[in-house]
């Protein structure tokens, strides 16, 4: 039956493997952008001292974080569906980093949920540690994993660590911008300070990272970094970052948020540019070499892409429902 519907020996379109590479990277980008600001909220939460402010931050985080986190699973399972050998090698080679990441995500997710279950100061403090610790550790480990993936370096090497730190910094930028767009002016202007510092750290970190990779030619990525497209992406990031700090200073928080969100998106684009056409440099696996057979890929395309569009549509609905300012009571009516 399916034979007549789906081609068995040829991809639906000749470039379907490349389209899937782009789709996997898109899911990764969605994750870094969306859960990134969740991590930022978690880290900035540590700077709040009053219960009212803390609850405001938690209220902003509450309705959306779980849906954001699903992009990680979407990324992982799409990678598995299209490029199983890359999925298995990547995780097998980074066992401890990957397990560390899931623990960080576990504490980050449980902290806020458990906090509200009990009215006890010590209990709330433990939950806060879990929330803040998990929110800081998760992007660090995820970034280190990505650095090892792209540059074929050791865990405790400069490129891996810098990628980790970069992801932490960019999460703080988007977290600060997201919260600023939803908070009252006093809090927003404080967040502006953190956001600006984090932006400068992020831009500096990225330049240092790329310089160190070019210097050592880690993972053979030097050439790709010097390519016009990659240079353009870096230039665009710098422009967006600086524009963001200006917008923040002017109090144009929604515009700041828009420019802040482009930073992690551009970072994902950069990762894709550095990888392609290989998918996992240390194994030499390429997009074409690791992709599943035509029938399998055609199937996940036909069944999966319409669903992905539907998902994007109800994400829009979710963010529409929970738009506008927030306070400790949550999103008002």
Partner 1 sequence: MLPSTLFSGIDPGWVALLSPELASRAQFGWTISVHIIFASLSIGLAPFIIYFTWKDVRTDDERFARLRSFWVKVFAVGFVMGTVTGIPMSFQFGTNFPQFSAVAGELIGGPLAFEAKMAFFLEAVFLGVLLYGRERVRDGTYVLSSVLVGVGAWLSGFWILIVNAWMQTPRGYEMVSRNGMEVARLTDPSAAFLTPRMPWMYVHMINASLIAVALLVAGVSAYIVWKTRESAAWNTALKLAVVILLVTAPVQAVHGDAYARHVEDTQPQKFAAMEAHYETDEADLHLLAFPSEVDALTDPRAENLVTVSLPRVGSFLASGGDFDAEVTGLNEYEENPPVALVFWSFRAMVGLGFLFIALALWGGYLTYGGRLSDSDRYLKAMVAASPLGYAALLTGWYVTEIGRQPWVIQGELRTGEAVSSTLTGAEATLTLAAFVVVYVGLVTTALYVLKWLIQDELRALGVNEPSGDRWRGPLPEVSDDD
Which parts of this chain interact with ligand HEM (CB under 6 A)? Answer: 69-70, 73
Which option in ligand HEM, partner 1, none does residue 314 bind, with CB closer than 5 to 8 A by kind?
A: partner 1
Residue among 72, 62, 79 at smallest CA distance from 20: 79
Which option in partner 1, ligand HEM, none does residue 300 bind, with CB closer than 5 to 8 A by kind?
A: partner 1
Tokens representing 218? 């880690």
Query: 286 forms bridges with which residues in the sheet?
Result: 278
Shortest gap between Cβ of 315 and partner 1 (angstroms)?
7
Shortest gap between Cβ of 246 and partner 1 (angstroms)?
33
For residues 145 and 91, the answer to whether their CB atoms sit within 8 Å is no
Three-class secondary structure assignment of 295-330: HHHHHHHHHHHHHHHHHHHHHHHHHHHCCCCCECCE
**Which residue number, 123 or 211, has a Cβ lying nearer to partner 1?**
123
Which option in partner 1, ligand HEM, none does residue 217 bind, with CB closer than 5 to 8 A by kind?
A: none
Q: Which residue has the CB atom at the shortest distance from ligand HEM?
A: 73
**For residue 329, how far is the Cα from the chain centroid?**
28
**Which residue number, 35 or 166, has a Cβ lying nearer to ligand HEM?**
35
Q: What are phi and psi of 263, to 5 degrees?
A: -65, -55
Which option in partner 1, ligand HEM, none does residue 295 bind, with CB closer than 5 to 8 A by kind?
A: partner 1
Q: What kind and span of H or E run contains 279? A: strand 278-280
Task: Give me the count of residues in the chain.
Answer: 333
Shortest gap between Cβ of 8 and partner 1 (angstroms)?
8
**Which residue number, 69 or 124, has a Cβ lying nearer to ligand HEM?**
69
Query: 285 forms bridges with which residues in the sheet?
Result: 280
Which option in ligand HEM, partner 1, none does residue 156 bind, with CB closer than 5 to 8 A by kind?
A: none
**Which residue number, 119 or 186, has a Cβ lying nearer to partner 1?**
119
In terms of DSSP H, where are the helices of the chain?
2-5, 16-45, 51-61, 65-82, 84-93, 95-115, 121-151, 158-180, 185-216, 222-226, 228-249, 253-275, 287-290, 294-321
Which option in partner 1, ligand HEM, none does residue 206 bind, with CB closer than 5 to 8 A by kind?
A: none
Which option in ligand HEM, partner 1, none does residue 197 bind, with CB closer than 5 to 8 A by kind?
A: none
Q: How many other CB atoms are found less than 10 A from the CB of residue 135? A: 33
Shortest gap between Cβ of 70 and ligand HEM (angstroms)?
5
**Which residue number, 156 or 228, has a Cβ lying nearer to partner 1?**
156
**Which residue number, 16 or 90, has a Cβ lying nearer to partner 1?**
90
Shortest gap between Cβ of 11 and partner 1 (angstroms)?
14
Residues 6+ apart with CB under 8 A from 166: 143, 202, 205, 206, 209, 267
**Which residue number, 66 or 223, has a Cβ lying nearer to ligand HEM?**
66
């Amino acid at each position: 039956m399916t034979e007549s519907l789906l081609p068995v020996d040829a991809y639906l379109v000749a470039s379907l493997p490349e389209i899937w590479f782009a789709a996997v990277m898109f899911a990764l980008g969605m994750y870094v952008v969306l859960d990134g600001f969740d991590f930022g909220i978690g880290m900035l939460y540590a700077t709040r001292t009053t219960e009212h402010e803390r609850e405001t931050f938690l209220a902003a985080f509450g309705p959306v974080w779980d849906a954001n986190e699903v992009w990680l699973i979407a990324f992982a399972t799409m990678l598995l569906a299209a490029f199983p050998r890359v999925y298995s090698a990547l995780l097998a080679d980074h066992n401890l980093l990957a397990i560390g990441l899931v623990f960080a995500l576990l504490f980050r997710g449980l902290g806020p949920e458990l906090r509200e279950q009990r009215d006890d100061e010590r209990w709330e403090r433990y939950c806060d540690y879990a929330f803040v610790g998990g929110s800081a550790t998760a992007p660090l480990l995820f970034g280190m994993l990505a650095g090892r993936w792209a540059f074929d370096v050791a865990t405790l090497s400069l490129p891996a660590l810098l990628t980790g730190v970069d992801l932490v910094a960019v999460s703080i930028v988007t977290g600060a911008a997201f919260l600023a767009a939803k908070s009252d002016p006093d809090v927003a202007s404080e967040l502006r300070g953190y956001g600006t510092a984090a932006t400068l750290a992020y831009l500096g970190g990225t330049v240092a990272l790329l310089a160190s990779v070019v210097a050592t030619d880690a993972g053979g990525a030097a050439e790709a970094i010097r390519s016009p497209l990659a240079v353009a992406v870096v230039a665009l990031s710098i422009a967006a970052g600086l524009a963001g700090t200006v917008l923040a200073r002017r109090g144009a928080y929604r515009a700041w948020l828009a420019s802040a969100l482009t930073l992690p998106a551009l970072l994902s684009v950069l990762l894709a540019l550095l990888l392609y056409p290989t998918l996992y440099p240390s194994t030499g696996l390429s997009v074409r070499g690791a992709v599943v057979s035509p029938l399998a890929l055609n199937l996940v395309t036909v069944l999966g892409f319409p669903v992905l569009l539907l998902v994007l549509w109800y994400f829009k609905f979710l963010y529409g429902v929970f738009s506008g300012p927030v306070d400790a009571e949550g999103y008002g009516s």
